[in-house]
Amino acid sequence: MKIIYRTILCAGLIAGMTGEALAETVMRVGSWLPPAHTMNKDVLPTWAKWIEDATEGRVTMKIEYPGGHPKSMLDQVQDGVFDAAWTFHGYFPGRFKLTQIVELPNLGAGAEAASIAHWRINEKYLAQAGEHDGVMLAGLFTHGPGHIHLRDPINSLSEMEGKKIRIGGGIQTAIGNRMGIKGVAAPGSKVYEILSQGVADGVFMPMGEKRTLRLKEVVPFTMKFPTGMYLGSFGIFLNPAFMDSLDAKDREAILSVSGEKLSGMAGRFWDEDVAVGEADAKAFGNTIMEAPPSVIDEFNAMTADMDQEWLESVKDRNVDTEAALKEIREVAQSL
């Protein structure tokens, strides 16, 4: 009798365990850039741990690398190929104009503070314009301050005229135009290739990419600005149908570890990557030149009208962008 009871008990436990296993949902997240990049090594795994803990193990994450242009990530989330993904807003000229608010010069903050401010201002002002319609926004963040990385050194911004510079889009394009560069379009994943082949003379990027994208090997000179020339805006997106397929408590659990919490965490890791990248580049023998006052003056003069130009460009969004621009800087600088 005891043997029969134990057999039934064990069968019940196995069935229960199997039921739990079958109930687990794997959230497939599309990503790009090398697996060792902070986004794939730190940000997404941290979010995955938060999601697993918040859902008590019912939802786990799998990071996948489909290749191709990173702009395709947005379509793949909208089409349900992936349950979530992230990409750079600058790859979509004309669609994401409001997100440039965090990229403009003079924000005066690093990636973590900028990312938190980006999320708050989007929720308060920008979301109503519907630029992210078709996906559910899980987070907004920026990379670290953007600088000039070149094959050969410069002492003034006037020397940038005519140089072939890889730019990712967004506010970088406007800055490059003011410098008189010849823009080279390429996704971040192709930057090392175009620089090593001589297709470009340099690139605008944050300092962390000296290490993660091996820029230290191909552009050994950097003109470094106090808080960067610009920041780059990124979004982390969720497929609405995937979210709707979840039990309500798991859906709310995922949202509880997304939003401002996810945005700030992503920015923090990108900030940390800046320091690591700069130290690594210096150890490799790169020259990191702090922009002298004369270069700062040049930059401020050539970008003086950029706030107004952006405000004019987003009039069709029917958002109080003047208030939003003022507030995002106040929030970022207060954090």
* C-beta separation of 224 from 147 below 8 A: yes
Which pLDDT belongs to residue 2? 37
For range 106-132, the mean pLDDT: 97
- What does the DSSP assignment read for 96-117? --GGGGGTSTT----HHHHHHH
Q: Measured between alpha carbons, how far is 63 from 45 in angstroms, rounded to an integer?
A: 9
Q: What's the burial of 227, exposed, middle or buried (CB within 10 Å: 0-12/13-18/19+)?
A: middle
* C-beta separation of 270 from 142 below 8 A: yes
Question: What is the dotted CATH code of the domain comprising 24-334?
Answer: 3.40.190.170
Q: Measured between alpha carbons, how far is 160 from 164 in angstroms, rounded to an integer?
A: 9
Which band of pLDDT confidence, cut at 50, 70 and 90, is reported for residue 10? very low
Q: Tens of pLDDT along 227-241? A: 999 999 999 999 999
Selected residue with higher pLDDT from 170 and 259: 259
Using the structure block, give the residue that is written with the tokens 């807003």.
89
- Cα-Cα-Cα-Cα dihedral sign, residues 36, 191, 185, 287: positive
For range 300-328, the mean pLDDT: 97
| pLDDT value at 53 more than 70 | yes
Question: Of the candidates 216, 217, 185, 180, which has an alpha carbon nearest to the alpha carbon of residue 200?
Answer: 185
Domain boundary assignment for the chain: 24-334
Task: Classify residue 305 by its DSSP letter.
Answer: T
Which pLDDT belongs to residue 85? 98
In the three-class reduction of DSSP (H, G, I as helix; E, B as strand; rest coil), residue 153 is classed as coil
298 pairs with which residues across the strands?
none
| pLDDT value at 67 more than 60 | yes
Selected residue with higher pLDDT from 151 and 14: 151
Share the mean pLDDT of the chain. 93
* C-beta separation of 87 from 71 below 8 A: yes
Q: Which residues touch 306 (CB under 8 Å, ≥6 apart)?
A: 104, 105, 171, 174, 175
Which pLDDT belongs to residue 266? 98
Q: Tens of pLDDT along 179-211? A: 999 999 999 889 999 999 999 999 999 999 999
- Put residue 180 in one of left, alpha, beta given phi > 0 → left and psi -120 to 50 → alpha: left
